A and B are shown apart, each in its own frame.
Chain A
Amino acid sequence: MSQKELQKRYWKANLAVLAGLLSIWFVFSCVLSIFLVEPLNEFKLGGFPVGFWISQQGAIFIFIALIFAYVLIMRKLDRKYGVEEEKH
């Protein structure tokens, strides 16, 4: 495969990764923390109403995990499509 072709595929794969991770980001930052917070508060997680917990704690943990996943996935993609950086 030519380098151009590889780069094209890499970019496509990259956009798919972004779409997946950003959907999770939206679900936690807006859907569960805001739109569905009231119904979720009907359920309890120990002393926490679930919606309240997600909006003040859970979402932040998910954000950290999302970036972590992103770094690992991209490292793999960079190598797979031969666009990784030289070692310094």
Chain B
Amino acid sequence: MDIQGWTYLIVGATFALYIGIAFYTRVKSTEGFYVAGHGVPAVFNGMATGADWMSAASFISMAGMISFIGYTGSMYLVGWTGGYVLLALLLAPYLRKFGKFTVPDFVGDRYYSNAARMVAIFCALFISFTYVAGQMRGVGVVFSRFLGVDINTGVIIGMVLVFLYATMGGMKGITWTQVAQYVVLIIAYLIPAIAISYQMTGNPIPQLGFGSKIKEGENAGLYLLEAIDAIHRDLGFPEYTAAFVPGKKSMMDVFAITIALMVGTAGLPHVIIRFYTTRTVQAARWSAFWALLFIGFLYTTAPAVATFARVNMIQTLHQKAYAERPEWFRNWEKTGLIKFDDKDGDGVIRYTSDTKSNELIVDRDIMVLANPEIANLPAWVVALVAAGGLAAALSTAAGLLLVISSSISHDLCKRIINPNMSEKQELRYARVAAGFAVIVAGYFGINPPGFVAQVVAFAFGLAASSFFPVIILGIFSKRTTKEGAIAGMVSGIAFTSAYIIYFNFINKAAVDKWLFGISPEGIGTIGMLLNFAVAIVVSRFTAPPPASVQEEVEFVRYPGSVRTDGTSLPGPMVH
């Protein structure tokens, strides 16, 4: 069977599986729809969180990104995993104990204010919409590359699928499909990585392989990382493993971006709500552990893949005749992801750091997507990578859609507009909102705004500068008042968005005017500090929170305590 046949088979089988799971996990209550009835076991919640978190960007783009920037790519690796330590230690157990449905629930209740709730709803919606557009686009791209379907048709197929299982099963359906999607995506990521590691270094474990010696070819006997540093020197690039040399980001910028990504990760609503779904506080803590372990499999493999791909690509293409280019080059040339521009007209491919004489243009996504072909792996592995990319994009999209849907039906309609709404009505709104969100996401997938990459920086910056500080203060400082929280969030968001909009869209060239040399990607760090500072200062000068709120803060701090009205953790589910 050829690649396309295999792809139809594997992608078709996984889609059938997702729909089957959705059908078996239909829900009839809002508790089931929003938090899977608080009944997800920790290990499975860990897997679901892994799939929820690892998006099309993690699966398709991250290794490629690292492969072009070497050491600097650590900011993604450390930033997107270190955030889980913050989540596990500072947020997850307390938010689970709080025991409601959404992030605006916590912000609104803890800060006894619908104004705070509105700000939280706005942030949750903005973050989730920016994020979801990229996922739908990812679905479309994978479809068009591997199945020969038009990108827009691909987006629509993805929309229908996500709509089906998000509206039928809500969080419960999403959770169990995410568990399946985690398994698909991790297998799809590891198989090619292991095969390539073994081919290049003789060591099948990629995490060790990329510190081993190259087995054959022109650089045989050299350590892989030594070889790549030497290659980079020859071609005029800064050394791969070097940290803050000219041509790479400064220490200050790497630091700020790492912090912004860590704190942003801990402030993303679709990740936070996963910890509402467990039965107990202890299970929420275990979930965070399992989640990071499962994420770690991919995140420790990615830098190895990045290195293999970089060496492989340069060795097989640089100084080689274009006429004798490998098969995979021919295949991927059609997609425009890799291009040869014969500037000196000698028919030989030359790859250098100098844009004037460089003849090879490579898109970063190709590093993962074309990897199995570069390594001559069988067709079914290529198909598996397609299914893995789809799993990564769909699982994240579903988690985001749930945040959008619950922000509208629960936080806006039920908690602000009409508190007397019946559960049945609310559930209907939730499903309609999910449908509406799918359509909007699909629209942006088909007509992508030209600035998706910058917008993702926006999502992290906003999460870091809005939610993270007020949730932390809400748990760890009883004295933080609604005035403090609102002022903190508003100043954090205003500062961060103004900075990002100015330096990303209005005056892109003003790099020398960056505050402390921090790029827009990392400015969430300053926004977060500002939010903390404003919230603490304003709280000092305003009346302390009412006694009932202070009691609620006490309540979330102790896993076994009981609310004054006698309610404890929800018991075993009866739905």
Interface residues of A (CB under 8 A from B): 7, 10-11, 14, 18, 21-22, 25, 29-30, 33-35, 37-38, 41, 45-49, 51-53, 55-57, 59-61, 63-64, 66-68, 70-71, 74-75, 78, 82-86, 88
A75 with B77: CB separation less than 8 A: no
A46 with B557: CB separation less than 8 A: no
Residue pairs across A and B with Cβ atoms less than 8 A apart, 7 shown, are A49-B225, A57-B303, A63-B82, A63-B85, A64-B296, A86-B568, A88-B569
A67 with B84: CB separation less than 8 A: yes
Looking at chain B's contact residues, the main secondary structure is helix
Size of the B side of the interface (Cβ < 8 Å), in residues, is 58
Which of B86-94, B381-389, B443-451 lines the interface with chain A? B86-94
Report chain B residues within 8 Å CB of A48. Answer: 211, 225
B6 at the interface (CB under 8 A from A): no
From known contacts A68-B289, A83-B558, infer whether A37 and B243 are also in contact, taking CB-CB under 8 Å: yes
Report chain B residues within 8 Å CB of A64. Answer: 289, 292-293, 296
Of all chain B residues, which has the CB nearest A56? Answer: B303
Q: Which of B66, B78, B82, B285 contacts A70 (CB 8 A)?
A: B285
Q: Which of A38, A47, A61 contacts B300 (CB 8 A)?
A: A61
A52-B225, A78-B560 given. 11 additional CB < 8 A pairs? A7-B561, A29-B82, A33-B78, A34-B254, A49-B225, A56-B66, A64-B293, A67-B285, A83-B560, A86-B568, A88-B569
Report chain B residues within 8 Å CB of A18. Answer: 89-90
Give the docked Cα–Cα distance between A3 and B291 (Å). 34
A56 with B74: CB separation less than 8 A: yes
Of all chain A residues, which has the CB nearest B285? Answer: A71
Q: How many A-B contacts if CB must be within 8 Å? A: 148
Report chain B residues within 8 Å CB of A35. Answer: 251, 255
B285 with A7: CB separation less than 8 A: no
Q: Which of A10, A41, A82 contacts B241 (CB 8 A)?
A: A41
B224 at the interface (CB under 8 A from A): yes
CB distance from B562 to the nearest CB of A (A): 10
Which of B47-55, B275-283, B356-364 lines the interface with chain A? B275-283
Report chain B residues within 8 Å CB of A61. Answer: 296, 300
Q: Which of B74, B84, B259, B558 contacts A10 (CB 8 A)?
A: B558
B226 with A47: CB separation less than 8 A: yes
From known contacts A7-B554, A46-B212, A47-B224, infer whether A60 and B289 are also in contact, taking CB-CB under 8 Å: no
Of all chain B residues, which has the CB nearest A44? Answer: B223
From known contacts A67-B289, A67-B292, infer whether A83 and B559 are also in contact, taking CB-CB under 8 Å: yes
Cβ < 8 Å to A, chain B residues 261-309: 262, 279-282, 285-286, 288-289, 292-293, 296, 299-300, 303
Report chain B residues within 8 Å CB of A66. Answer: 85
B207 at the interface (CB under 8 A from A): yes
CB distance from B548 to the nearest CB of A (A): 17
B211 with A46: CB separation less than 8 A: yes
Q: Which of B223, B255, B558 contacts A47 (CB 8 A)?
A: B223
Of all chain B residues, which has the CB nearest A48? Answer: B211
B288 with A67: CB separation less than 8 A: yes
B223 with A85: CB separation less than 8 A: no
Give the docked Cα–Cα distance between A43 and B373 (Å). 36
Report chain B residues within 8 Å CB of A63. Answer: 81-82, 84-85, 292, 296
Give the docked Cα–Cα distance between A68 and B296 (Å). 13
A18, A38, A45 interface centre (most CB from chain B within 10 Å): A38
Of all chain B residues, which has the CB nearest A87? Answer: B280
Q: Which of B74, B84, B211, B559 contacts A55 (CB 8 A)?
A: B74
Give the docked Cα–Cα distance between A67 and B93 (Å). 12
Give the docked Cα–Cα distance between A51 and B285 (Å). 30
B84, B279, B559 interface centre (most CB from chain A within 10 Å): B559
A55 with B251: CB separation less than 8 A: no
Give the docked Cα–Cα distance between A45 and B208 (Å). 11
A59 with B82: CB separation less than 8 A: yes
A37 with B559: CB separation less than 8 A: no
Give the docked Cα–Cα distance between A11 and B254 (Å). 34
Give the docked Cα–Cα distance between A18 and B225 (Å). 36
B130 at the interface (CB under 8 A from A): no
Give the docked Cα–Cα distance between A53 and B303 (Å). 10
B329 at the interface (CB under 8 A from A): no
B571 with A88: CB separation less than 8 A: yes
Q: Which of B78, B244, B254, B569 contacts A85 (CB 8 A)?
A: B569
A14, A37, A71 interface centre (most CB from chain B within 10 Å): A71
CB distance from B309 to the nearest CB of A (A): 14
What 6 A-B pairs come out closest when comparing CB atoms?
A47-B223, A55-B74, A47-B211, A56-B303, A83-B558, A29-B82
CB distance from A55 to the nearest CB of B (A): 4
Report chain A residues within 8 Å CB of B211. Answer: 45-48, 53
From known contacts A47-B213, A70-B88, infer whether A59 and B568 are also in contact, taking CB-CB under 8 Å: no
From known contacts A60-B78, A84-B560, infer whether A78 and B303 are also in contact, taking CB-CB under 8 Å: no
From known contacts A55-B77, A63-B81, A67-B292, infer whether A22 and B243 are also in contact, taking CB-CB under 8 Å: no
Of all chain A residues, which has the CB nearest B244? Answer: A38
A55 with B280: CB separation less than 8 A: no
Of all chain A residues, which has the CB nearest B87? Answer: A67
B71 at the interface (CB under 8 A from A): yes
Give the docked Cα–Cα distance between A84 and B293 (Å). 25
Q: Which of A11, A38, A67, A88 contacts B279 (CB 8 A)?
A: A88
From known contacts A67-B84, A78-B560, infer whether A30 and B258 are also in contact, taking CB-CB under 8 Å: yes
